[in-house]
Structure 1
Amino acid sequence: MPTAAPPPNEFLRSLLQIPSVSARDVDTEGRTLVSYDVTGSAQLYEVGADGTWRRLTDLDGVAAGRYLPGTRAVVVQHDAGGNERGQLSLVDLDSPDLDSPDVAGAGDAGEPLPPLVPFVHDPAFVHRLAGVEPGRVFYLTNRRNGVDFDLVSREVGSGKETVLYDGGGYVAEVEASPDGRWVALTRPNAPANSLQLLLVSTEDGQVEPLTPWDDDAYVRTPSWLPDSSALLVSGNPGREMTAVLRYDLAARTWSEVVADSGHDLVGWVSPDGAHVLVATNDDGAVSLALHSLPDGEPVRDLDLPAGGCAALHRHPDPVWSQAGDAVAVTYSSPVEPPYALRLDVTTGTSTPIRPANRPDLPGGLVAPESHRVAAPDGEQIPTFVYRPADGGDGSAVLVVHGGPEGQSVRQWQPMVAGLVAQGHTVLVPNVRGSTGYGKRWYALDDVRRRLDSVADLAALHEWLPTIGVDPDRVALYGGSYGGYMVLAGLAFQPARWAAGVDIVGIASLVTFLENTSDYRRAHREREYGSLANDRDFLHEASPLTQVDAMRAPLFVIHGANDPRVPLSEAEQIVAALRARNVPCELRVYADEGHGLAKRANQLDAYPAACAFLAEQLAKRSGGPGDSGEGVA
């Protein structure tokens, strides 16, 4: 039951302290493996069929994992301080040390935990859990040269390792065929925001491309039928929206299984091959439905609250039970924090998985309105608008997502809710380059069209008076690529914006590409342009290049261990602004990486950022810039 809304800053603090539950796996006995962050960072818990909770990990940072089929063990992936150099360990759930369930799921200090046994461990390199089978684990690692990711199979008993793929570059997803003869994997294509599907023989290592290297298609979620005769994927080759497609190995042919000309779909095949679970992305609301195989006919919609997002984006992918009778998913909405659900395939009903002692939600949470905002070139920018119940104080904050190949969806966003509670109208746009609205839209910001997406910010600013917002009292807020957009808005459109909050953002596209982790550089050059061929444009499109024009106060948040956007990006923009007497605050967190994963740091940074915006937007009595300055 919602309670009365506390004062704005306490409102945000109360939201940040509500724990989240994410589904990670399900076993054959009705147990569910979840991530749960009640202790301040996401740790692994097992939730029994009777609702009892057992805590499994106590790690420095976020823990993810999968059950090891045929055993009572979990493979755990974890890093240190957000550095994203994942290590793999095993937890034996039959360990005598794990003899006391934590029924409330509160993670009390002193509860017995099973030992965490290193399985694949080399802190200098990245190891990503890619799949589990009885007796073996698949993982991806860059330990060969620090750049290229190899696919490795490791036997659990003997520790014997076999390199299955070493074709170079980044590897996104992996799925081994049930008969053990093949591995399907996806890797970045030549065009930006595209993935190629490869078929790798486990017998001789031969690699067969199933989609062309130069295609602009995005292909993901490879899933095998149980007889290994065919592969189902979610992809958009030769089409605008992503559909569920089938590749037949014997015939070497593609066919359509489930498609919707107006929406992106993503599908996951059940282990028994009887069904495919299909997620439909409808303007940021993601619903789930069950379809039969092989015909793709709809069976039933699954029981989920309306107006939210099940799976995808910041939530883990759904996970099927081995019997194919249940699937575990993660759900949230603008008015509901993330929690796990176990969905019964036969009935379509859902069972929530969340602790009984979760704090009550405060009153005052609002759902967004959906708008399309016209840009000068005729494009329509999908935009969510969150309005305070009392209409607000006439100010606004634009919250820009990261990626850039990302999408703002109808998920739990405490910071957005906190800004609304503070009296600001909050706009959450999907500027050009965003996913979820078709292939054409997400390609409109590639390489030398980068500043076209920045121009969308100006179009949104022009539209604000139509919804009652004072255009002189508007700020920008964003993380990662959204942080770049904040800095770019302040640099290229200085007369429009009163303040900015930049979280792990890019100040210079040149130094970002020079200093990002070696294994990420080629992948990011596909989107932004290459240092070899596009350096002049990268320099031109960098906020740091236009720092002399920046004059709005700035609040910067960064993790010291960020492997994607190095801390040096924050340090150089802050130093440049301070040298020009522009008000600027920098908060660096020594135990964080690309964003803030720990509640203590969130509670330190986000309310302070909210207070900064309240101060800056309250005192704007005139325009953000000198009256004589033109608008970019």
Structure 2
Amino acid sequence: MAVDMVRLLELASWRAFDVDEAGRVLAGSDESGSTQLVELSPNGRVTALTALSGAVTGRYLPGERAAIIQHDTGGNERGQLSLMRLDRRRTRPAELGDLQPLVRDPRYVHRLLDVLPGRLVYSTNRRNGVDFDVVIRSAVTGEEIVVYDGGGMVQEVVASPDSHYLALTLPGAQPMSDRILLVDTMPATADERFRPLTGLGEHTRSTHIRWLPDDSGLIVSTNADRDRTGVARLDARTGQRTWLVTSEEHDLLGWLSPDGRTLLVQTNEDGAARLALHDARTGELRRSVPLPGDGWCSFPLPAPVWSPDSRLIALSFSSPEVPGDVLVIDAEQEAPPITMTDSAAALAGERLATPTAHRVPGAEVPCFVYEPAEPTGSSVLMIHGGPEGQSVRTFNPVVQGLAAQGHTVLVPNVRGSTGYGKSWYSADDGRKRLDSVQDLAALHEWLPQLGLDPARSALWGGSYGGYMVLAGLAFQPRRWAAGVDIVGISSLVTFLENTSPYRRAHREREYGSLADDADFLREASPLTHVDEISAPLFVIHGANDPRVPLSEAEQLAEAVRRNGVECELLVFDDEGHGLAKRSNRLNAYPRALAFLTRHLI
């Protein structure tokens, strides 16, 4: 018999945040109901480190038995930073009062970006609530140095080995574009403090930056002058780019070892990860790294991390049959990764749906199809958020729960999705927004070819995926039988007006600006066409959401109900942008599935 939804939601998953030279992994586990820090030892011992009210991430402090911890409250994303000593005997996981405060001001966002011996690098918007400054802080004395205050939403920051330079990425002028800026922490003159390595107007992604050990340059994953992302070396003086590993068919990402000798390269093969180790100087392939099956490493964060001695790599892995495990690769051994956790053990013997990969005829939209053991002819389309995101081959309890109830689940990567090249993720920018909504219509037209009843198909999505659900119901009202919207945007206008100030300019690059594109934003908003929505709706939102305000859900629910359309709105006072707590997922998702089954079967 197929596994039930409650059991699926109760499964624990693990993810890797850091690894030290002794092979200990600083990991996240949601066994307690939200992601808390644990330490995994090579001998199999698991030590619970934190028991905080919100989700937690962290990094080891180099050279010490200590960790820097980032935590928020109720999903509000206003990260606070604390220090935890790991060389002290504890009888229980640490609560907030047990941690040493480092950076705490609940009015603002603080993000841990890098760790150095005795120091941490973080960004904060405390100067004006909008722009993010970069600060280096001593973990011992508390002394702080502001090393960047040039404005914008700082994304990645990495310090050079001697800490003389920082490399940071900032949003470019175009959608889904980054620029790399070098910061001299000891400039001879003020004019020499900042030096751009890439241009503001380049339509280029630049991510996963790492310094070469001699400070001569950076390794970067980029699609500069290419459609597909590759791995390149960037000269720190001239900005000259030298390609190391590229593919004409797949996007690649690379992570440099601290000694500068080895690259871990991930190939994105239609939502499945393939790993290999390459020579960082020549790009030459050394060996492939086998993973447990078709799945994805780093789901969705954090990225793989090297140990300081460049021997071990810790990464997070999930597949349709694996909820989430920590794997460790020994870069010096010809051996498969060691699985330090076993999240799939609780699923032994259960019948799970596995995806088959397709391209929707005509539109060529990539799509995974999860077929249930006993199909009923109904279907649910699950659309990812972003829009700059990708649905990959990972475990999703909602997908499995839907399939267990007999629904065929279609998981597409509509226009705007990453993982399929620059031209595909740029195909919904600005005034092309509704082109991606048209992909939903193409998917609906395809349903009969899969043996599915087009009159019994629903939409499910979160964040931008929630916008797509609402847009599908508003712009294609005769196609869809129901919708589940989770923290979705109902009006692009009010979303931009009311989202956190530090996010507004960042998102206007993608959607269009209130100053220049208000007419189109209004026309592309589901709320503008709410009178067309006739399908029943189930809406879930967090009261503390700093990205998509609760008002987006409230105004939509009010307007739909005013028209006599069924709309159930669930609001969680202790959640932000999504449901981070298992107790809330256990409340919301079974109700949402029962809602769909009532309208589809």
If the TM-score is normalised by the length of the shorter chain, which range does it land in? over 0.9
Aligned equivalents of 1:492, 1:537: Cα separation in 2: 14
Question: What percentage of residue pairs aligned between the two structures are identical?
Answer: 57
Aligned equivalents of 1:426, 1:342: Cα separation in 2: 32
2:272 is the counterpart of 1:288: no
Q: Decide whether the 8 Å contact of 2:315 with 2:326 is kept in 1.
A: yes
Task: Check 1:505–1:361 CA distance in 2 against 1; reply closer, same or farther (3 A cut).
Answer: farther
Q: Decide whether the 8 Å contact of 1:18 with 1:358 is kept in 2.
A: no
Q: Decide whether the 8 Å contact of 1:315 with 1:331 is kept in 2.
A: no
2:310 is the counterpart of 1:328: no
Residues 199-247 of structure 1 show CA distances to partners (whole Å, capped at 9, x for unaligned) of 1111126211111101110000110111111210000010000000101
Aligned equivalents of 1:192, 1:28: Cα separation in 2: 39
Task: Check 1:75–1:474 CA distance in 2 against 1; reply closer, same or farther (3 A cut).
Answer: same
Aligned equivalents of 1:458, 1:229: Cα separation in 2: 51
Q: The residue matched to 2:365 in structure 1 has which SS?
A: strand
2:397 is the counterpart of 1:397: no
Aligned equivalents of 1:5, 1:496: Cα separation in 2: 29
Q: Decide whether the 8 Å contact of 2:322 with 2:344 is kept in 1.
A: no
- The residue aligned with 1:44 is 37
TM-score (ref. length: structure 1): 0.92
Tell me the amino acid that sits aligned with residue 288 of structure 1.
L
- The residue aligned with 1:370 is 357
Task: Check 1:558–1:179 CA distance in 2 against 1; reply closer, same or farther (3 A cut).
Answer: same
> Superposition RMSD on alpha carbons, in Å?
1.4
Tell me the amino acid that sits aligned with residue 247 of structure 1.
L
Instruction: Pick from 311, 332, 345 the counterpart of residue 346 of structure 1.
Output: 332
Tell me the amino acid that sits aligned with residue 151 of structure 2.
G
Instruction: Pick from 212, 225, 229 the counterpart of residue 242 of structure 1.
Output: 229
Q: The residue matched to 2:84 in structure 1 has which SS?
A: strand
Tell me the amino acid that sits aligned with residue 125 of structure 1.
Y
Q: How many Å apart are 1:424 and its aligned residue?
A: 0.7
Q: How many Å apart are 1:252 and its aligned residue?
A: 4.1
Task: Check 1:477–1:44 CA distance in 2 against 1; reply closer, same or farther (3 A cut).
Answer: same
Instruction: Pick from 50, 64, 67 the counterpart of residue 57 of structure 2.
Output: 64
Aligned equivalents of 2:10, 2:343: Cα separation in 1: 15
Aligned equivalents of 1:485, 1:252: Cα separation in 2: 39
TM-score (ref. length: structure 2): 0.97
Task: Check 1:446–1:121 CA distance in 2 against 1; reply closer, same or farther (3 A cut).
Answer: same
Q: How many Å apart are 1:357 and its aligned residue?
A: 10
Q: Decide whether the 8 Å contact of 1:367 with 1:386 is kept in 2.
A: yes
Task: Check 1:358–1:599 CA distance in 2 against 1; reply closer, same or farther (3 A cut).
Answer: farther
- The residue aligned with 1:34 is 27
Q: How many Å apart are 1:475 and its aligned residue?
A: 0.3
Q: How many Å apart are 1:306 and its aligned residue?
A: 2.3
Q: Decide whether the 8 Å contact of 2:230 with 2:253 is kept in 1.
A: yes
Tell me the amino acid that sits aligned with residue 332 of structure 1.
S
- The residue aligned with 1:615 is 598
Aligned equivalents of 1:534, 1:68: Cα separation in 2: 46
Q: The residue matched to 1:597 in structure 2 has which SS?
A: coil
- The residue aligned with 2:183 is 200
Q: Decide whether the 8 Å contact of 1:92 with 1:115 is kept in 2.
A: no
Q: The residue matched to 1:380 in structure 2 has which SS?
A: coil
Tell me the amino acid that sits aligned with residue 337 of structure 1.
P
Q: Decide whether the 8 Å contact of 2:325 with 2:342 is kept in 1.
A: no
- The residue aligned with 1:305 is 292
- The residue aligned with 2:446 is 463
- The residue aligned with 2:66 is 73
Structure 1: 5+ residue stretches without partners: 101-109, 619-632
2:138 is the counterpart of 1:155: yes
Runs of 4+ aligned structure 1 residues displaced above 3 Å come to 110-114, 355-358
Tell me the amino acid that sits aligned with residue 385 of structure 1.
V
Task: Check 1:111–1:138 CA distance in 2 against 1; reply closer, same or farther (3 A cut).
Answer: closer
Q: The residue matched to 2:556 in structure 1 has which SS?
A: helix
Q: The residue matched to 2:198 in structure 1 has which SS?
A: coil
Q: The residue matched to 1:374 in structure 2 has which SS?
A: coil
Q: How many residues in Structure 1 have an aligned counterpart in Structure 2?
A: 595
Aligned equivalents of 1:371, 1:302: Cα separation in 2: 26
2:372 is the counterpart of 1:385: no
Instruction: Pick from 187, 198, 203 the counterpart of residue 211 of structure 1.
Output: 198
Residues 353-381 of structure 1 show CA distances to partners (whole Å, capped at 9, x for unaligned) of 21699534461212111111134xxx411
Q: The residue matched to 2:315 in structure 1 has which SS?
A: strand
Tell me the amino acid that sits aligned with residue 447 of structure 1.
G
Task: Check 1:612–1:362 CA distance in 2 against 1; reply closer, same or farther (3 A cut).
Answer: farther
- The residue aligned with 1:443 is 426
Structure 2: 5+ residue stretches without partners: none
Residues 530-573 of structure 1 show CA distances to partners (whole Å, capped at 9, x for unaligned) of 00000010000000000111110000000000000000000000
Aligned equivalents of 2:430, 2:463: Cα separation in 1: 17
- The residue aligned with 1:625 is none
Q: Decide whether the 8 Å contact of 2:461 with 2:468 is kept in 1.
A: yes
Instruction: Pick from 3, 6, 17 the counterpart of residue 24 of structure 1.
Output: 17
Aligned equivalents of 2:504, 2:237: Cα separation in 1: 37
Q: The residue matched to 1:265 in structure 2 has which SS?
A: strand
Tell me the amino acid that sits aligned with residue 516 of structure 2.
N
Task: Check 1:574–1:163 CA distance in 2 against 1; reply closer, same or farther (3 A cut).
Answer: same
Q: Which 10-residue stretch deviates more, 110-119 or 580-589?
A: 110-119
- The residue aligned with 1:627 is none
Q: Which 10-residue stretch deviates more, 524-533 or 44-53?
A: 44-53
Tell me the amino acid that sits aligned with residue 324 of structure 2.
P
Residues 558-594 of structure 1 show CA distances to partners (whole Å, capped at 9, x for unaligned) of 0000000000000000000111110010000110000
2:36 is the counterpart of 1:5: no
Aligned equivalents of 2:436, 2:527: Cα separation in 1: 17
Task: Check 1:524–1:361 CA distance in 2 against 1; reply closer, same or farther (3 A cut).
Answer: farther
Tell me the amino acid that sits aligned with residue 364 of structure 2.
Q
Aligned equivalents of 1:286, 1:478: Cα separation in 2: 23
